[in-house]
Amino acid sequence: METQPRGLRVLHVVTASMSVSLMRGQLKFLREAGFEVAVAAAPGEEFTAKARAEGAQPILVPLTREMAPLRDLVALFRVYSILRRMRPVIINFGTPKAGLIAGLAARLSGVPCRVYTLRGLRCETARGLKRQLLLFTERLACACAHRVVCVSESLRQKAVSLRIAKAKRTVVFAYGSSNGVDAGLFRPTVERLRMAMILREEKGIPKDAPIIGFVGRLVADKGIGDLFEAYLTLRGRFGDLRLLLVGEFEEGDPVPTAIRERIERDPNVTITGFVKDTAPYYQVMDVLALPTQREGFPSVILEAHAAGKAVVAYRATGTVDAIVDGVNGILVPQGDAMELAEALSTLISDRGLVRTMGRNGQERVEREFQPMRIWSALANTYVRMLEEKGISCAGIRLEKAWPCEAENVQEALR
């Protein structure tokens, strides 16, 4: 690794390769705008490949998602050492663990411009000592940052109300989301519809059977128990009803063992395991259900909308920004499995309503959630922060920010 900066170096720090996927195209955009970009995360071939695909320098740091005091201390010294050698002018850290470790290291090493990307609050569903610890780490991470980029307005409001971040330091780009969504990757093309038919056959799902779908990690916070309860309630009304779970069970925040065993035994429930390309699976399902207890901004809702699907979700942080209730989906009270079942029943029974909501969702995604909006706003924020510090941005090539980003960023700079 070189010890002297060649230009305006930007370092993004995340916990794992999955987080790099949440920035697809973003790092490449920054590099093409003239920044020298690096990204740090836990070691892994997938991470290295994703970083290089973006044209970013991969840097390996022993970060873990869960608390591990000794390894976290090693990671802190590792990041501090990297920052002292690399001397970036901007650091952007996201996720609680990366936020705490990279935030502290950046402050100690004197990185001029520090940004914390807040993608969600794990403390929302935590209890007792764990909640207090998570609140402390989030507050500390935000305190180390000059700007806190919240991926949704409801998340920003929650962070401010919990005194995690000061309002004047927070900003939401455009209509929110971590990275927008490339609608073309999920649009119902002839090929994806053909693949969906093949998947139905492979999974043994009858052609006309209604399917409730879920995409994401199969954990308690995602409401898998409530979703299964709603499915069982509806099975009597819709005899051929199927539940399609696109994801895999995880040990962190596990689904209760008894519920998991019932899900795995049910012949009308399909669990795909990890899926690299979820696009054709959206075409298999009739409606997406997301009874999550907390989110930052759920990308799966944007993906489902881009695929032309209606969504039913709990009225939780993040989901209220992604769904316009009654227009592109239905929001139900958090934790109410019966209301969840009724909303799903309404959509399964009315295919015309599903098509209308799906079309409305598509139009909104294409109108408001283009990735370029987020990338442009972020890059312009970087430039403004550097200018505040008196650092020249000669050589950075940026288009004018979208009007709503300019307003939001300006508010954060006051």
Domain ranges of the chain: 9-180+370-413, 183-368
Token pair of 74 as six digits: 């090693």
Q: Is 12 helix (H, G, I), strand (E, B) or coil?
A: strand
Give pLDDT, residue 65: 64
- Asked whether residue 239 carries a pLDDT value surpassing 90, the answer given is no
Give pLDDT, residue 4: 34
Token pair of 94 as six digits: 């996201």
d(CA 295, CA 311): 15
Give pLDDT, residue 410: 40
If one compares 23 and 365, the residue with the highest pLDDT of the two is: 365
Residue 391 φ then ψ, to 5°: -95, 125
Q: How confident is the model at residue 278 (pLDDT cuts 50, 70, 90)?
A: very high
Q: CB-based contacts of 265: which residues, under 8 Å, 6+ apart?
A: none
CB 271 within 8 A of CB 248: yes
- Asked whether residue 411 carries a pLDDT value surpassing 60, the answer given is no
Give pLDDT, residue 92: 96
Distances (CA, A) of 221 to 2, 310, 333, 355: 42, 22, 15, 29
Mean pLDDT over 277-283 rounds to: 97
Mean pLDDT over 374-401 rounds to: 89
Give pLDDT, residue 16: 73
Token pair of 278 as six digits: 């979820």
Mean pLDDT over 75-100 rounds to: 90
d(CA 259, CA 275): 22
Token pair of 223 as six digits: 């409401």
Give pLDDT, residue 66: 63
Mean pLDDT over 5-21 rounds to: 79
At 151-208, the pLDDT tens digits run 999 999 999 999 999 999 999 999 999 999 999 999 999 999 999 999 999 999 998 8
Q: Count H helices, E strands: the chain?
A: 17, 13
Q: How confident is the model at residue 100 (pLDDT cuts 50, 70, 90)?
A: confident
Q: Of 90, 110, 89, 92, which is closest to residue 102 (Cα–Cα)? A: 92
Do the domains 9-180+370-413 and 183-368 sit in the same CATH topology, yes or no? Answer: yes
Give pLDDT, residue 269: 97
Mean pLDDT over 73-100 rounds to: 90
Superfamily of chain region 183-368: Glycogen Phosphorylase B; (3.40.50.2000)
Give the strands of the sheet with 170-171, arranged side by side: 57-60, 36-41, 9-13, 90-94, 113-118, 147-150, 170-171
- Asked whether residue 125 carries a pLDDT value surpassing 60, the answer given is yes
- Asked whether residue 369 carries a pLDDT value surpassing 90, the answer given is yes
End-to-end CA distance of the chain: 37
Q: What CATH architecture is 9-180+370-413? A: 3-Layer(aba) Sandwich (3.40)
Give pLDDT, residue 240: 92
Q: Of 151, 169, 158, which is closest to residue 94 (Cα–Cα)? A: 151
DSSP string over 318-377: THHHH--BTTTEEEE-TT-HHHHHHHHHHHHH-HHHHHHHHHHHHHHHHHH--HHHHHHH
- Asked whether residue 400 carries a pLDDT value surpassing 90, the answer given is no
State the chain's mean pLDDT as an integer: 91
Cβ–Cβ contacts within 10 Å for residue 365, how many? 27
